[in-house]
Structure 1
């Protein structure tokens, strides 16, 4: 449900209808329109949940791994998220060797390339 109060606006529109007698007959909505409306509301809800989840991730990451912000051009890029998957803390990055980190990136990029090739 939307969190916007529309009581005053609704009352105003009802008064307008009453005084102008500009009534329109009830139109039964088609199933396609109703499905589209439902789908649109679901998409809005998903977008809201996604935004909240991203904010929570940023907040948590600032507490656990404050140095992470600004390392990658896009915080949500595949490489960035794979890095978090492999090295969830700054200590994990510091304990890994440069060669180990490079090898993991190469494997991830190759795996991503193969998946992309299979989709096409």
Structure 2
């Protein structure tokens, strides 16, 4: 959006709910780019919109930081899910022994005994 504003274009932001309502008015459920563009144009011409206010650079930076934070949280969640599924293959029912898989004790067990067979062999030798 900033690019278009810097190039001198007027920028208006439409609410996706309004364009979706316009779509629901149609009898046929057709989804193509030209039809979507036509619906967006109808919403624009049938409604009263204000021009987008130019945002302060600090607000733009804050928005970008929030998006990065959300992206990092998504990556962290995906990594945890992959870790849990891999751990379940190597150590079946491991999560029944440790309620927190990433606590220090759990991670020490995993690093010292990379497979369940090694852990059973060690426990049998005690």
| TM-score, length basis structure 1 | 0.61
Question: Residue 95 of structure 2 corresponds to which residue in structure 1?
Answer: 69
CA distance in 2 between counterparts of 1:45 and 1:94 reads 39
Greater Rg over alpha carbons, structure: 2
Q: Which runs of at least 4 in structure 1 moved beyond 4 Å after TM superposition? A: 10-14
SS in structure 2 of the partner of residue 88 of structure 1: coil
| TM-score, length basis structure 2 | 0.59
Query: Equivalences for 1:1-120 in 2 at 5 Å?
Result: 8-9=19-20, 15-20=42-47, 22-96=48-122
Deviations 1:68-110 (A, max 9, x none): 2211121222221222122221122223359x9xxxxxxxxxx
Cα RMSD for the two superposed structures: 2.9
More helix by share: 1
The count of aligned residue pairs is 93
Structure 1 residues not aligned, in runs of 5+: 1-5, 101-120
Greater RCO (Cα-Cα under 8 Å, separation 6 or more): 2
CA distance in 2 between counterparts of 1:13 and 1:86 reads 60
Structure 2 residues not aligned, in runs of 5+: 1-15, 21-35
